Amino acid sequence: MTKEDRQFLIETLCEDLVPMIMEEYHLSSIEALDKLYKSQTFAKIEDPQTTLYYQSAVYNFDILKEEFDSSH
């Protein structure tokens, strides 16, 4: 897989995750993007070794929720 292909998958995943974060946490799109991009989960999504970018948005959202909810 090329770097461009992986980046496309990550961007597509983010497009699915942002509305889920907005709804769950009552955030604007900018706030949801900020929350996603600053998360440890997003760092793992970007890491080619984890292959999280291959997983569904629901799967990744569950991981994000665990991270966000445990930080409170």
Q: What is the pLDDT of residues 18-58, one digit of tens each?
A: 999 999 999 999 999 999 999 999 999 999 999 999 999 99
CB 17 within 8 A of CB 25: no
Q: 17: closest CA among 50, 39, 48, 47?
A: 39
Q: What is the pTM of this model?
A: 0.91
Judge whether residue 59 has pLDDT over 70.
Answer: yes
Total tally of structural domains belonging to the chain? 1
Encoded amino acid at 53, one letter: Y
* pLDDT value, residue 42: 97
38 burial type by CB count under 10 A (0-12 exposed, 13-18 middle, 19+ buried) = exposed
Domain of 50, in residue numbers: 3-70
65 burial type by CB count under 10 A (0-12 exposed, 13-18 middle, 19+ buried) = middle
Judge whether residue 72 has pLDDT over 80.
Answer: no
